[in-house]
Amino acid sequence: MWRAGSAEIDPPPALPHSSLVAPARLPRYRADVWAGGFAVASPVYTASISAVDGTVVAATELIYRLRPGATGFQTRELPEGMGDVVAVAVERRRRGSEQRIAVATMHELHLYGAGGVASVPLPDDHGEVVGLLWGPMLWTPPGWLPDPPGVPIDVLYVRCAHVLLQLVPDGGPFGTFMQLGGPVATARALATDHAGGFAFACFDEEDWQIEVSMLAEREPQLFHCRRLDAPTAFCGVELAIAGKSLAVSFGFEGVWMTRDCKEHAFTEIEELRGRLDPNDRTSAAAIAFEGSADDAALFAAVRDTKTTQHIVRVDAQGRALRVAEVEVEASDEEHLIVPPVRALAWDSTRRTLWSATGRAGIMCSTAPGAPSWLPAGAAS
């Protein structure tokens, strides 16, 4: 059962609890100010987040949910005995159906919907779950027909360490798993813009390159592909898509983007390169586009020093704006290794960027001119 939060968003946590010295340092010029702060008063560790059509879900040690139009998070305990959540994903809203929420622990998948919770364990030989994504169904099982016919639907992609699964509706409360083959089966990252866009990134060890494939046409199916060199010490990749635009993020090696995958190669965004020493290599920076338009701005959580991380917005003209700054205590060894901002999700209904920020919980950064999601007088 979901437990309701307060009528308004809770105030930011006390700084000693979160270990954050400066939760959100905003731009100097008032015209550029993004209102920011923490959305949960007494958070637990939160490393994954998803926002679609007004629903925001975040989790690791506890599941948080903000429903469309709501101003306070609900909470729910994790399934007993299943361990922490490793990934969450929110389904797009469909007429006549309630949005479903997918929550994965290492070896089990849980779907939360109007009918309750449906859970299924995954075979051990699949490896641990490493990612979830609701995206367009591109590979249709033999004999399967959509209901209603001709209407594209989203399905859930479950990325495990050794396989990629697609959860296909079967008329029941859960669905049927289909194991995917081909290049996408080895994807290191999947992305959607929640408007029909879909992309995946694979690592070619022989050429030491990342190949990114973006869906260009559904019928007949056509992908545009682009390659770029992988870092010498490759530790993973983050991927984001908005219309024709694609962005990939490595660790110390920075963030790369193309505004038209078909016509233009990836180029590095210099403003999003962290200033850490090369020996202090970190995981890929969290990235997210501000919507699904071709010219959507890109957000990235850039590691500036061992103790400081900036959320930077780069618009279609290449202008960079520091939206927020997160600083951790130098004595916090966990955050010195793992950056506090673990994931980003753009909420177009509230014009707010949501950040999963580890032990500080959930941070919000709201665009200028949009209603603030912090109570009056809260620190920002």
327, β-bridge pairs: 22, 308
90-119 exposure pattern, b = at least 16 Cβ within 10 A, e = fewer: bbbeeeeeebbbbbbbbbbbbbbbeeeeee
What is the predicted pLDDT for the residue at 76? 92
pTM of the complete model: 0.88
What is the CB neighbour count within 10 angstroms for residue 72? 15
What is the predicted pLDDT for the residue at 146? 62
Could you give the CA distance from residue 176 to residue 179 in angstroms, rounded to a whole number? 10
CB–CB of 353/345 below 8 Å?
yes
Comparing C-alpha atoms, which of 78, 87, 3 is closest to residue 40?
Answer: 3
**Whole-number Cα distances in Å, 363 to 5, 11, 46, 284, 356:** 16, 11, 10, 19, 7
76, β-bridge pairs: 63
What is the predicted pLDDT for the residue at 25? 45
What is the predicted pLDDT for the residue at 151? 60
What is the predicted pLDDT for the residue at 275? 67
Q: CATH assignment of 15-141+148-366, given 1.10.10.10, 3.90.660.20, 2.60.40.10, 2.130.10.10?
A: 2.130.10.10
Nearby residues of 68 by Cβ (< 8 Å), 6 or more positions away = 53, 54, 55, 93, 349
Instruction: Indicate the helix (H) or strand (E) that contains 324.
Output: strand 320-328
What is the predicted pLDDT for the residue at 236? 87
- Measure the CA dihedral 334/72/120/52, to 10°: -90
Comparing C-alpha atoms, which of 129, 115, 218 is closest to residue 175?
Answer: 115
Which residue ranges of the chain lie beneath pLDDT 70? 2, 4-32, 96, 141-152, 173, 251-252, 275-283, 329-338, 373-380
CB–CB of 3/75 below 8 Å?
yes
Q: What is the pLDDT of residues 351-377, one digit of tens each?
A: 999 999 998 899 999 999 998 765 443
**Whole-number Cα distances in Å, 140 to 191, 241, 251, 259:** 19, 23, 35, 29
What is the predicted pLDDT for the residue at 298? 97
